[in-house]
Amino acid sequence: MKERKKRIVKKSEFNLKNEYKLSWDFINESRKFIYLIILVFVGFMLIGFFAPVPDSIKQQIFDFIKELIAKTQGMSQLDLIQFIFLNNLQSSFMGMILGVVFGIFPIIATIVNGYLWGVIGSLSVDSEGILSLWRILPHGIFELPAIFISLGLGLKIGTFIFEKEKSKSFKEFFWNSLRVFIFIVLPLLIIAAVIEGSLIFFSG
């Protein structure tokens, strides 16, 4: 009887290695949705980069950048890292969770983000030349994979509606996505915030 109890306790113990394995297994299972998000992002990024940008959109972007600079002005390195991390955390988490509505929000968020990255890249090249893109690149090395995974899983969650056992599928998709967010996305966002915050601080 005691041995049986020990086995039960052992099974319920937290196992970090197992959690990571389950997280990567679910990412692999959801790879089609993540690839779709990447495809949409790249497509709209190219549109934003090469297509003429309406003056109204340019102005909105400039206003947003000015507002962002004003908010972060005078922040310490740690404050910048925290600010960037919390913003990315909120957008990534909401992008995943709001996928429950047929996966509509992740697609919209991908289109907007892709287009904005393209426009910002285009404006940077116009003002500082093609080499300015290398300054933008470090900001996305860890941030973009985290966003792609979050939005891809959000899209996956939204497909529960097409499953036979809707309630069971929703719970399975939701809890697996949450596990991935905690063990994979969160560390990526922390690394991204440290890199981006440090680059902004030391270049400012």
How confident is the model over 107-155, as pLDDT tens digits? 999 999 999 999 888 888 877 777 666 666 766 889 999 999 999 999 9
**pLDDT at site 94:** 94
Burial of 134 (0-12, 13-18, 19+ CB in 10 A): exposed
Determine the number of helices (DSSP H) and then strands (DSSP E) in the chain.
Answer: 10, 0
Q: Which residue has the higher pLDDT, 185 or 68?
A: 185
Q: Is the pLDDT of residue 62 over 60?
A: yes
Q: What's the rounded Cα separation, in Å, for the pair 37 and 153? A: 10
Q: DSSP 3-state assignment of 48?
A: helix
DSSP state letter for 102:
T
**pLDDT at site 18:** 93
**pLDDT at site 6:** 45
Contact present, 106 and 97 (Cβ < 8 Å): no
**pLDDT at site 64:** 83
Query: Model confidence over 153-173: pLDDT tens digits?
Result: 999 999 998 888 999 999 999
What mean pLDDT is reported for the chain? 87
Q: Is the pLDDT of residue 10 over 50?
A: no
Tell whether pTM > 0.75.
yes
**pLDDT at site 132:** 63
Residues of the chain with pLDDT > 70: what percent?
A: 89
When pLDDT is averaged across residues 4-9 and rounded to a whole number, the result is 43
Distance of CA 179 to the CA centre of its chain: 15
Q: Which of 167, 170, 158 is nearest to 103 (CA)?
A: 158
Q: Which residue has the higher pLDDT, 12 or 126?
A: 126
Contact present, 50 and 120 (Cβ < 8 Å): no
Q: Is the pLDDT of residue 76 over 50?
A: yes
When pLDDT is averaged across residues 32-50 and rounded to a whole number, the result is 96
Burial of 1 (0-12, 13-18, 19+ CB in 10 A): exposed
Listed by start position, the domains of the chain span: 85-204
When pLDDT is averaged across residues 100-108 and rounded to a whole number, the result is 87
Q: Which residue has the higher pLDDT, 201 or 197?
A: 197
